[in-house]
Amino acid sequence: MLTRADLEAREAATLAPYAALSAESGGREYPEAESEARTAFARDRDRVLHTGAFRRLEHKTQVFLNVRGDHYRTRLTHTLEVAQVARSAALRLGLNETLAEVQALAHDLGHPPYGHAGERLLDGLVRAHGEASGFDHNLQARRTVTQLEDRYPDFPGLNLTRTVLDGLNKHERAGLGQPTLEAQLVDVADALAYTAHDLEDGLRSGLLLEGDLLELGLWRELLARTGLSGVNLSKRERRTLHRELLGFLIGDLTAASAAAITASGVGSVADVRAQPGYLICHSPAVAALLSETRQFLFVHLYRHWRVEMQVAQAEQILTTLFEAYLSRPQMLPPAYAARLAGAGEVRTVCDFLAGMTDRYALDMYEELTRPGLGMGWAR
């Protein structure tokens, strides 16, 4: 049976010199004995997996409300796809797969209900009520794992290692240098994954048409690689294109990143942090294809009139809930009411709403707005 020391020794012997090692995790804010059987990063991953915040991602919107169909991505399936991409690329680059995995699993824990529309709305609401820092899902992910998850008697949050927490900090990096290569990889894998799966979900929904995609250089590249016509595609042919897309993008990501790492001459995590920018990247040609594709998705999918109807629904629900709980904070559940003195009413209400699933937000909205429903839970 392998011990933690054995696993740490394996990392030191097999990973690249610029990979982040579990044995050099930076420790934890609240001292505690490490596991005898798991590395520090493996323990962090397991803690994230067992949170309520992680489970709630199943019922949070990616692009389409999950009541619209059983096969559209949710925030949870998106997270799992990011973890798969990050692990695959980390393996090829000699990086720490476990660190990449835990940061991928945690990166969206702060996302509110109703996707990016919910994030924009909460940001506007808290700013309008005097919170200059606004709302950002990246900052909320860190807040979730350091404060909001209540699972241990001796400390708030999950007490994750400092290296993992640093990887969740995409802002305010002055003096900190660049993130580890594993954290950079998750950041790039996030954009890669949502671009790929939003194309597939857009086609499945009928909001994107195959003929319209012919204007995209990335789509034409995939058709050339697969020999498909690009119109009247069967479900199996769409899946073939999606697989080819992922393989193409991951292959380019690993090749371009390997070249950038070699050219930089980095030989340690400290060298990585001292770099002027990211070393994890796509080639210029593929980066341009992705940029064009994301702009296309913004115009033709994220701002499609049917998606905008979902946005309008989200605005009505979250605005009503925010104003109701802010005007009557005594309606907050006890766990959140206990935070009012320390965090203040605006931030506490924001925390409560950000943790909701789409379905729970709708349920609370109906209890508040439909006469006679509000007492059903009290029996």
pLDDT tens digits for 253-311?
999 999 999 999 999 999 999 999 999 999 999 999 999 999 999 999 988 888 888 88
Q: Which pLDDT score is estimated for 374?
A: 52
- Lowest-confidence region among 20-29, 37-46, 162-171: 162-171
Would you say the C-alpha torsion 279, 252, 299, 238 has a positive or negative sign?
A: negative
Q: What average pLDDT does range 95-108 have in this prediction?
A: 98
Q: Which pLDDT score is estimated for 232?
A: 85
Q: Report the C-alpha gap between 104 and 181 in whole angstroms.
A: 13
Identify whether residues 346 and 254 lie together within a single domain: no
Q: What is the pLDDT of residues 312-362, one digit of tens each?
A: 999 999 999 999 999 999 999 999 999 999 999 999 999 999 999 999 999
Identify whether residues 218 and 270 lie together within a single domain: yes
Q: Report the C-alpha gap between 158 and 51 in whole angstroms.
A: 9
Of 262, 285, 307, which residue constitutes the final position of a domain? 307
Identify whether residues 301 and 316 lie together within a single domain: no
pLDDT over 90, % of the chain: 83
Of 256, 274, 307, which residue constitutes the final position of a domain? 307
Q: What average pLDDT does range 138-158 have in this prediction?
A: 95
Of 262, 281, 307, which residue constitutes the final position of a domain? 307
Identify whether residues 330 and 243 lie together within a single domain: no
Q: Is the pLDDT of residue 47 over 50?
A: yes
Position 372 confidence tier, pLDDT thresholds 50, 70, 90: low
Identify whether residues 68 and 129 lie together within a single domain: yes
Q: What is the pLDDT of residues 191-215, one digit of tens each?
A: 999 999 999 988 988 899 999 999 9
Q: Which pLDDT score is estimated for 291?
A: 97
Q: Which pLDDT score is estimated for 67?
A: 47
Count of domains in the chain?
A: 2
Q: Which pLDDT score is estimated for 170?
A: 83
Identify whether residues 164 and 279 lie together within a single domain: yes
pLDDT over 70, % of the chain: 96
Position 136 confidence tier, pLDDT thresholds 50, 70, 90: very high
Q: Which pTM does this prediction carry?
A: 0.93
SS3 of residue 74 by DSSP: strand
From the CA atom positions of the chain, what is the Rg in Å? 22
Q: Which domain holds residue 276?
A: 4-307
Q: What would the two tokens of residue 331 be?
A: 């309606």
CATH of the domain at 192: 1.10.3210.10
SS3 of residue 150 by DSSP: strand
Q: What average pLDDT does range 42-63 have in this prediction?
A: 93
Identify whether residues 297 and 324 lie together within a single domain: no
Identify whether residues 330 and 195 lie together within a single domain: no
Q: Which pLDDT score is estimated for 378?
A: 40
Q: Which pLDDT score is estimated for 112?
A: 95
Identify whether residues 225 and 331 lie together within a single domain: no
Under 8 Å CB-to-CB from 6, ≥6 apart: which residues? Answer: none
Identify whether residues 30 and 148 lie together within a single domain: yes
Identify whether residues 143 and 220 lie together within a single domain: yes
- Lowest-confidence region among 133-137, 156-160, 168-172, 197-201: 168-172
Identify whether residues 359 and 268 lie together within a single domain: no
Q: Report the C-alpha gap between 82 and 73 in whole angstroms.
A: 12
Distances (CA, A) of 121 to 135, 314, 316, 321: 9, 9, 10, 12
